[in-house]
Structure 1
Amino acid sequence: MVLARRSFFTKSVSIPGSLSSSGIVEDEATGHGASTPEDHNILFVLGDSPFDAGNNLYLNESNYPVASYPYGYTYFSNATGRVCDGRILPDFIAEYANLPLIPPSLQPGGDFYYGANFASSGAAVLDSDGSSGLHVLNLKGQVIQFKELVAKWNETLGADTTRQVLAKAVYLFSFGGNDYHNYYEKFYDEDSSPTPLEQEQFVKYIVGNTTDALIEMYELGARKIAFQNVGPMGCLPECKTQFPKFNGSCIPDLLSMPTLSNKELNKTLTDLAERLEGFKFSIFDYFIALMDRIENPSEYGFVYGSTECYSDGNLCEYPSAYVFFDEGHTTQCANEQLAKLFWEGDLSVTSPYNMKQLFEESKG
């Protein structure tokens, strides 16, 4: 079957958005009775396309690339806004934590009793200066939405209970990849490359802005942070296609910047844990886990590690044989493997806590 080709590395317009419901007050849709979110696990998700559960459907109703088949067909039988053939990593984390699927924050009438997913495809740490392409919620917009939810919970639960709920929750993040892609793209278009010093300075700027957002959320009550670090951007099929002068090889600068960023993030979160009372974190080494599957697909049950199932409108027969579903995003099968590592992986891949341990800390 031949379908239209999809691309997600586009300039974007940052849109604050608005939550439609607090999901706390009992009604026919929720039916939660008198219980409050403090009675169960809670998961908040912030990030970019690997974590988007459908927000961009509501921001780009008329032209969103993944609003139709074959996206979603493996599990949902229809497109949900997830950039995948089925479930994404946060869906599996929710399952392991005995939670339902966490709804996108822009979903009309959304039930946010168990948390909310603020992630948006194309989102970056920095606000975009683009004037065309997809509308997205960048990091700032996602934090604004989180603050709106907190304000509504303050009204319905009271400030003290809300802070208890927020301290209990786990916050799952994925940011940075689009920033490094967009930064490198500017140099490539001028037939140049960022120097090592320029890369280091930009990485510190991105991680610094990310840290500011984390501290802002900490001040609102967030305590348990789980971060998927930046993946091997330079080995994504889409990047190899977009930057052809490397003749199909991985793009060095889009490997070096994520590597620098991941080291800086680990250093920064370790520092925050030492300075901020009650702050705990988990970092999943997505870079290593995904790269290993790209380079050694057969060791993980895949046939194809560096080509995608859905390319130039052509859909493969068996998505589970592929690490990548489209040029920039992994299949449901790969997502499940990665989620298991994030959930219960040892210190070699997820540290200093894994997500299972973070949720257990919430019960303590």
Structure 2
Amino acid sequence: MGWGLKCECGLLIYVLVVMGREIVNGERVKLFVLGDSLVDCGTNNYINSSKEHRANYFPYGLNAFSGHPTGRFSDGKVTPDFIAELANLPLIPPYLQSNADHSYGANFASGGAGVLSDTNQGEVVDMGMQVAQLSELKYEFKRKFGHFKAHQEFSQAVYCISIGLNDYKVLFNDYEGQISQNKDEFVKFVIGKLSSHIQGLYNNGARKFLNVGLKDLGCTPHMRAHGKGECLHEATYLSASHNAAAENLLISLESKLAGFKYIFFDYFKFLRTRIEEPHKYGFIDGHQACCGSGPFRGLYTCGGKSGSSGYELCENPAGHVFFDSFHSTEGINRQAAHALWLGEDPTVRPLPLSEFFNKKVSPGGLGLERKGKAKMSLTLGHHSY
């Protein structure tokens, strides 16, 4: 627990003892979330996005929030919701939500977004725009509370990044397992852009990075539906290659950038174990989605997506690994958050997430930006003035 306050010579000195809590120097550690539909909590509700890139309608959210759909691509909560609970934080709201309280962080993630700006361009908030929005939020925080407080709190915040799958998913329009791009070169290109975005966050004060690796795209119900029940090898290869390169990138950045700390979550292996042995982890079905149509309910029609007028919905979402053709159930999201928090699973490397919330990092290399930086409005049709 944290304690206490002592007054000496007119100065308040904070003496802090941390025991499983989420306070650093008397302040709750903020949580910032950037990414795609795996961690989106409703961003696309506030932009002119298509129904395919939204989840603010039944049956999404049927097992949480009093059955009210919030824009989360799940039957309930997504992983950052459970991380916030474990860190004793309130649920982190979308950055674009009007009058939202961002005292404890903000969620910039946008369903359908990619590392690359041209992935689903015009309907989502890509990662570059998300990074710029975070910079805008920090500017507002500095304006209200001063440069020192802004730098202190943003350097101790946790930055959860979960993005990249859509950059590869859009390559498989024919589902024949063949793509025109050179696979390895394309992965290098995506990773290069990811590196630029991470360094942009670092330059803006970020020091604690949680990077969630890609799931096995080839073994989603959607890919199985087009692969006669088998995982689509080309898509699996791209996911695995991306994850290996992303982890190597983080290792490299830690060796080069002062104060840079990372946690890599091998979501590929984490989810594959539950797909292959669902009963071992409390699930019944690891192959068939709860919501959708066609083989494995793998056609992306849940809630009327893809212009469909009909879809199937299972009776027990909690028994499934996948809620729809691509997205996992609340049960998987809960297990992912707890695995991250404890850090005992080999898919979480090299630290448990709890350390990011419980320990201060040195913000090495952190400088002050110039004052008077112009405020930006960087989202499709959105103004945050």
The correspondence for 2:178, drawn from 186, 189, 193, is 193
The correspondence for 2:143, drawn from 129, 152, 155, is 155
Long gaps (5+) in structure 2: 1-24, 294-310, 363-385
- Cα RMSD between the aligned structures? 2.1
Larger Rg: 2
Equivalent residue for 2:218?
234
SS at match of 2:81: helix
Question: Which one has a larger percent helix, Structure 1 or Structure 2?
Answer: 1
Q: Distance in 2 between matches of 1:61 and 1:113?
A: 27
- Shift in Å at residue 352 of structure 1? 1.1
Equivalent residue for 2:334?
336
The reply to whether residue 120 of structure 1 matches residue 110 of structure 2 is yes
AA partner of residue 80 (structure 1): T
114-123 vs 327-336, which deviates more? 327-336
Equivalent residue for 1:66?
55
Q: Distance in 1 between matches of 2:265 and 2:54?
A: 28
Label 1:363 to 1:274 Cα distance change in 2 as closer, same or farther (>3 A): closer
Equivalent residue for 1:205?
189
- Shift in Å at residue 354 of structure 1? 2.1
The question of whether the paired residues in 1 share the 8 Å contact of 2:276 and 2:286 is answered with yes
Equivalent residue for 2:32?
44
Q: Distance in 1 between matches of 2:256 and 2:327?
A: 36
Q: Distance in 1 between matches of 2:27 and 2:120?
A: 43
Query: What are the within-5 Å matches in structure 2 for residues 139-288 of structure 1?
Result: 139-185=127-173, 188=174, 193-194=178-179, 198-241=182-225, 244=226, 246-288=227-269
Equivalent residue for 1:323?
321
Equivalent residue for 2:357?
359
AA partner of residue 359 (structure 2): E
Label 1:353 to 1:151 Cα distance change in 2 as closer, same or farther (>3 A): same
Deviations 1:212-252 (A, max 9, x none): 011111011000000110110001112233xx2x3121110
Label 1:57 to 1:200 Cα distance change in 2 as closer, same or farther (>3 A): same
Query: What are the within-5 Å matches in structure 2 for residues 62-101 of structure 1?
Result: 63=51, 65-76=54-65, 77-101=67-91
Q: Distance in 2 between matches of 1:156 and 1:298?
A: 51
Q: Distance in 2 between matches of 1:131 and 1:342?
A: 31
Q: Distance in 1 between matches of 2:332 and 2:345?
A: 20
- Shift in Å at residue 193 of structure 1? 2.1
Q: Distance in 1 between matches of 2:177 and 2:353?
A: 40
The question of whether the paired residues in 2 share the 8 Å contact of 1:38 and 1:164 is answered with no
SS at match of 2:139: helix
Instruction: Tell me the TM-score normalised to structure 2 length.
Output: 0.79
Kindly tell me the number of residue pairs found equivalent between the two proteins.
320
Q: Distance in 2 between matches of 1:117 and 1:44?
A: 6
Long gaps (5+) in structure 1: 1-36
